[in-house]
Protein backbone atom coordinates (compact mmCIF):
# COMPACT_ATOMS: atom_id res chain seq x y z
CA UNK A 1 0.00 0.00 0.00
CA UNK A 2 1.39 3.39 -0.94
CA UNK A 3 1.31 6.43 1.26
CA UNK A 4 -1.52 8.90 0.86
CA UNK A 5 -0.96 11.27 -2.04
CA UNK A 6 -1.63 15.02 -1.81
CA UNK A 7 -5.10 15.97 -2.95
CA UNK A 8 -5.27 17.91 -6.19
CA UNK A 9 -5.83 21.51 -5.17
CA UNK A 10 -6.46 22.98 -8.61
CA UNK A 11 -9.71 22.94 -10.55
CA UNK A 12 -9.88 20.08 -13.03
CA UNK A 13 -12.11 21.94 -15.50
CA UNK A 14 -11.27 24.46 -18.18
CA UNK A 15 -11.59 28.20 -17.77
CA UNK A 16 -14.92 28.03 -19.61
CA UNK A 17 -16.20 25.65 -16.95
CA UNK A 18 -15.82 28.42 -14.35
CA UNK A 19 -13.94 25.85 -12.25
CA UNK A 20 -17.19 24.22 -11.15
CA UNK A 21 -15.60 20.95 -10.10
CA UNK A 22 -14.53 20.14 -13.65
CA UNK A 23 -18.08 19.06 -14.49
CA UNK A 24 -19.14 21.89 -16.77
CA UNK A 25 -22.52 22.73 -15.24
CA UNK A 26 -21.58 21.40 -11.83
CA UNK A 27 -23.70 19.12 -9.65
CA UNK A 28 -26.72 19.31 -11.94
CA UNK A 29 -24.79 17.50 -14.68
CA UNK A 30 -23.09 14.98 -12.39
CA UNK A 31 -23.44 11.46 -13.80
CA UNK A 32 -24.07 9.85 -10.41
CA UNK A 33 -26.48 12.44 -9.02
CA UNK A 34 -29.71 10.54 -9.64
CA UNK A 35 -28.63 7.47 -7.67
CA UNK A 36 -26.68 9.34 -5.00
CA UNK A 37 -27.75 11.28 -1.93
CA UNK A 38 -27.78 14.40 -4.12
CA UNK A 39 -30.75 13.07 -6.10
CA UNK A 40 -33.09 14.52 -3.47
CA UNK A 41 -32.01 18.09 -4.19
CA UNK A 42 -33.64 20.80 -6.31
CA UNK A 43 -31.58 22.81 -8.86
CA UNK A 44 -31.04 25.75 -6.50
CA UNK A 45 -29.92 23.37 -3.75
CA UNK A 46 -27.54 21.65 -6.18
CA UNK A 47 -25.97 25.03 -6.91
CA UNK A 48 -25.51 25.55 -3.18
CA UNK A 49 -23.97 22.09 -2.80
CA UNK A 50 -21.72 22.71 -5.79
CA UNK A 51 -20.26 25.80 -4.11
CA UNK A 52 -19.01 23.79 -1.11
CA UNK A 53 -17.67 20.81 -3.08
CA UNK A 54 -14.19 20.12 -4.42
CA UNK A 55 -13.31 17.50 -7.01
CA UNK A 56 -10.38 15.29 -6.08
CA UNK A 57 -8.66 12.48 -7.99
CA UNK A 58 -6.88 9.55 -6.35
CA UNK A 59 -4.65 7.14 -8.30
CA UNK A 60 -5.15 3.43 -7.60
CA UNK A 61 -3.71 2.23 -4.28
CA UNK A 62 -3.68 5.65 -2.63
CA UNK A 63 -5.56 6.55 0.53
CA UNK A 64 -8.61 8.76 0.71
CA UNK A 65 -8.41 8.61 4.50
CA UNK A 66 -6.98 6.33 7.16
CA UNK A 67 -8.61 4.50 10.03
CA UNK A 68 -8.51 6.62 13.17
CA UNK A 69 -7.75 9.89 11.35
CA UNK A 70 -9.79 12.95 12.23
CA UNK A 71 -12.98 12.85 10.15
CA UNK A 72 -12.79 16.29 8.58
CA UNK A 73 -14.34 15.51 5.20
CA UNK A 74 -17.24 13.73 3.52
CA UNK A 75 -16.69 12.13 0.11
CA UNK A 76 -19.11 11.31 -2.70
CA UNK A 77 -17.57 8.74 -5.05
CA UNK A 78 -18.29 9.71 -8.66
CA UNK A 79 -15.90 7.36 -10.52
CA UNK A 80 -14.00 4.20 -9.64
CA UNK A 81 -14.02 1.81 -6.69
CA UNK A 82 -12.82 2.26 -3.11
CA UNK A 83 -11.97 -0.53 -0.66
CA UNK A 84 -13.01 0.06 2.96
CA UNK A 85 -11.15 -1.91 5.59
CA UNK A 86 -10.25 -2.18 9.24
CA UNK A 87 -6.74 -2.96 10.45
CA UNK A 88 -6.72 -5.73 13.06
CA UNK A 89 -4.42 -5.75 16.12
CA UNK A 90 -2.36 -8.63 14.68
CA UNK A 91 -1.59 -6.67 11.51
CA UNK A 92 -4.17 -8.32 9.29
CA UNK A 93 -6.96 -6.40 7.60
CA UNK A 94 -10.66 -7.08 7.21
CA UNK A 95 -12.23 -5.51 4.16
CA UNK A 96 -15.71 -4.39 5.16
CA UNK A 97 -16.94 -3.12 1.81
CA UNK A 98 -16.30 -1.72 -1.64
CA UNK A 99 -17.64 1.75 -2.42
CA UNK A 100 -18.99 2.39 -5.92
CA UNK A 101 -20.06 5.58 -7.73
CA UNK A 102 -22.88 7.26 -5.84
CA UNK A 103 -21.69 6.10 -2.41
CA UNK A 104 -20.99 8.66 0.30
CA UNK A 105 -18.07 8.07 2.66
CA UNK A 106 -17.48 9.63 6.06
CA UNK A 107 -21.10 10.26 7.00
CA UNK A 108 -20.84 8.55 10.39
CA UNK A 109 -21.08 10.85 13.40
CA UNK A 110 -17.79 9.82 15.01
CA UNK A 111 -14.97 12.37 15.24
CA UNK A 112 -12.55 9.90 13.63
CA UNK A 113 -12.91 7.61 10.64
CA UNK A 114 -13.82 4.08 11.75
CA UNK A 115 -12.31 2.48 8.63
CA UNK A 116 -9.59 3.20 6.08
CA UNK A 117 -10.54 4.03 2.50
CA UNK A 118 -8.14 3.18 -0.33
CA UNK A 119 -8.62 3.58 -4.08
CA UNK A 120 -8.87 0.25 -5.93
CA UNK A 121 -8.92 1.92 -9.33
CA UNK A 122 -8.38 5.54 -10.24
CA UNK A 123 -11.05 7.29 -8.19
CA UNK A 124 -12.79 10.61 -8.55
CA UNK A 125 -14.73 12.10 -5.65
CA UNK A 126 -16.51 15.23 -4.61
CA UNK A 127 -15.10 16.22 -1.24
CA UNK A 128 -17.00 18.34 1.26
CA UNK A 129 -15.67 19.80 4.48
CA UNK A 130 -17.68 18.02 7.13
CA UNK A 131 -18.73 21.23 8.90
CA UNK A 132 -19.92 22.77 5.63
CA UNK A 133 -21.81 19.62 4.66
CA UNK A 134 -23.48 19.43 8.09
CA UNK A 135 -24.59 23.05 7.79
CA UNK A 136 -25.91 22.35 4.30
CA UNK A 137 -27.95 19.36 5.51
CA UNK A 138 -29.52 21.32 8.38
CA UNK A 139 -33.01 22.47 7.48
CA UNK A 140 -33.38 20.08 4.53
CA UNK A 141 -35.64 17.26 5.79
CA UNK A 142 -35.90 15.75 2.29
CA UNK A 143 -32.11 15.36 2.22
CA UNK A 144 -32.12 13.89 5.73
CA UNK A 145 -34.67 11.30 4.57
CA UNK A 146 -32.41 10.44 1.64
CA UNK A 147 -29.44 10.11 4.00
CA UNK A 148 -31.48 7.77 6.20
CA UNK A 149 -32.32 5.68 3.14
CA UNK A 150 -28.64 5.39 2.32
CA UNK A 151 -27.83 4.54 5.93
CA UNK A 152 -30.39 1.74 5.73
CA UNK A 153 -28.79 0.49 2.52
CA UNK A 154 -25.36 0.51 4.17
CA UNK A 155 -26.79 -1.42 7.12
CA UNK A 156 -28.21 -3.98 4.69
CA UNK A 157 -24.79 -4.34 3.07
CA UNK A 158 -23.21 -4.84 6.50
CA UNK A 159 -25.78 -7.53 7.30
CA UNK A 160 -25.05 -9.20 3.97
CA UNK A 161 -21.38 -9.33 4.87
CA UNK A 162 -22.14 -10.80 8.28
CA UNK A 163 -24.01 -13.58 6.49
CA UNK A 164 -21.09 -14.06 4.10
CA UNK A 165 -18.68 -14.40 7.02
CA UNK A 166 -20.97 -16.89 8.74
CA UNK A 167 -21.09 -20.64 8.38
CA UNK A 168 -21.13 -20.84 4.60
CA UNK A 169 -18.96 -22.79 2.22
CA UNK A 170 -16.45 -21.04 -0.03
CA UNK A 171 -18.68 -21.73 -3.05
CA UNK A 172 -21.67 -20.12 -1.32
CA UNK A 173 -19.65 -17.10 -0.24
CA UNK A 174 -18.18 -16.40 -3.67
CA UNK A 175 -21.54 -16.90 -5.42
CA UNK A 176 -23.25 -14.50 -3.00
CA UNK A 177 -20.43 -11.98 -3.42
CA UNK A 178 -20.76 -12.00 -7.22
CA UNK A 179 -24.54 -11.65 -7.18
CA UNK A 180 -24.54 -8.93 -4.51
CA UNK A 181 -21.96 -6.96 -6.47
CA UNK A 182 -23.96 -7.37 -9.68
CA UNK A 183 -27.05 -6.06 -7.87
CA UNK A 184 -25.09 -3.03 -6.63
CA UNK A 185 -23.86 -2.27 -10.15
CA UNK A 186 -27.48 -2.61 -11.27
CA UNK A 187 -28.54 0.10 -8.80
CA UNK A 188 -26.28 2.55 -10.61
CA UNK A 189 -27.49 1.56 -14.07
CA UNK A 190 -24.71 -0.90 -14.97
CA UNK A 191 -26.86 -3.97 -15.67
CA UNK A 192 -24.96 -6.69 -17.51
CA UNK A 193 -23.89 -10.32 -17.28
CA UNK A 194 -20.35 -8.90 -17.51
CA UNK A 195 -19.29 -8.20 -13.94
CA UNK A 196 -16.21 -5.98 -13.45
CA UNK A 197 -13.92 -7.16 -10.66
CA UNK A 198 -11.25 -4.47 -10.37
CA UNK A 199 -10.29 -5.62 -6.90
CA UNK A 200 -7.67 -8.33 -6.45
CA UNK A 201 -8.32 -11.93 -5.44
CA UNK A 202 -6.66 -11.04 -2.13
CA UNK A 203 -9.21 -8.26 -1.65
CA UNK A 204 -12.05 -10.71 -2.26
CA UNK A 205 -10.45 -13.15 0.18
CA UNK A 206 -10.11 -10.46 2.85
CA UNK A 207 -13.75 -9.50 2.33
CA UNK A 208 -15.11 -13.03 2.50
CA UNK A 209 -12.87 -14.30 5.29
CA UNK A 210 -11.17 -16.84 3.02
CA UNK A 211 -7.62 -17.42 1.84
CA UNK A 212 -6.53 -16.22 -1.57
CA UNK A 213 -5.86 -19.84 -2.55
CA UNK A 214 -9.43 -20.79 -1.71
CA UNK A 215 -10.84 -17.85 -3.69
CA UNK A 216 -8.69 -18.72 -6.72
CA UNK A 217 -9.72 -22.39 -6.57
CA UNK A 218 -13.37 -21.42 -6.30
CA UNK A 219 -13.21 -19.18 -9.38
CA UNK A 220 -11.45 -21.99 -11.28
CA UNK A 221 -14.16 -24.42 -10.17
CA UNK A 222 -16.94 -22.02 -11.21
CA UNK A 223 -15.32 -21.65 -14.63
CA UNK A 224 -14.94 -25.43 -15.01
CA UNK A 225 -18.59 -25.94 -14.03
CA UNK A 226 -19.66 -23.25 -16.54
CA UNK A 227 -21.09 -20.94 -13.90
CA UNK A 228 -18.85 -18.11 -15.07
CA UNK A 229 -16.33 -17.26 -17.75
CA UNK A 230 -13.24 -15.55 -16.38
CA UNK A 231 -12.33 -12.51 -18.49
CA UNK A 232 -9.74 -9.74 -17.98
CA UNK A 233 -10.75 -7.64 -14.97
CA UNK A 234 -13.95 -9.55 -14.30
CA UNK A 235 -16.26 -12.47 -15.02
CA UNK A 236 -19.19 -13.20 -17.28
CA UNK A 237 -22.06 -14.77 -15.33
CA UNK A 238 -23.43 -17.77 -17.23
CA UNK A 239 -25.74 -19.79 -14.97
CA UNK A 240 -27.58 -17.23 -12.86
CA UNK A 241 -30.09 -19.76 -11.56
CA UNK A 242 -27.36 -22.06 -10.25
CA UNK A 243 -25.51 -19.14 -8.68
CA UNK A 244 -28.77 -18.04 -7.06
CA UNK A 245 -29.20 -21.48 -5.50
CA UNK A 246 -25.65 -21.45 -4.18
CA UNK A 247 -26.00 -17.94 -2.77
CA UNK A 248 -29.31 -18.78 -1.07
CA UNK A 249 -27.93 -21.86 0.66
Separation between Cα atoms, residue 93 and residue 90, nearest integer Å: 9
For residue 6, give the DSSP letter.
P
Q: How confident is the model at residue 35 (pLDDT cuts 50, 70, 90)?
A: confident
Query: pLDDT tens-digit profile of 151-209?
Result: 766 666 666 667 767 778 999 999 999 999 999 898 887 777 899 999 999 999 999 99
CATH class, 166-247 region: mainly alpha
Output the pTM of the full model: 0.82
CATH class, 15-157 region: mainly beta
Instruction: Report which secondary-structure segment, H or E, holds 98.
Output: strand 93-99
pLDDT at residue 34 greater than cutoff 60: yes
pLDDT of residue 195: 95
Query: pLDDT tens-digit profile of 48-63?
Result: 888 999 999 999 999 9
Residue 91 CB coordination number (10 Å): 6
pLDDT of residue 6: 38
pLDDT of residue 30: 77
pLDDT at residue 139 greater than cutoff 90: no
Closest by CA position to 118, among listed 3, 24, 237, 234: 3
Domain ranges of the chain: 15-157, 166-247
Instruction: Report which secondary-structure segment, H or E, holds 143.
Output: helix 141-164
pLDDT of residue 123: 97
Residue 43 CB coordination number (10 Å): 9
Amino acid sequence: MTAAQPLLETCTGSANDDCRNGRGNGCEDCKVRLFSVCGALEPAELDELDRISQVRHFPARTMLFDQGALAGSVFNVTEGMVRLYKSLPDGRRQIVGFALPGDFLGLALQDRYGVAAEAVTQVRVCRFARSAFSSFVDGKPHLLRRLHEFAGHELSLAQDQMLLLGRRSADEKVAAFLLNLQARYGRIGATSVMLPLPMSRQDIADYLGLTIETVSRTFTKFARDKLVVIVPDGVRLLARDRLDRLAAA
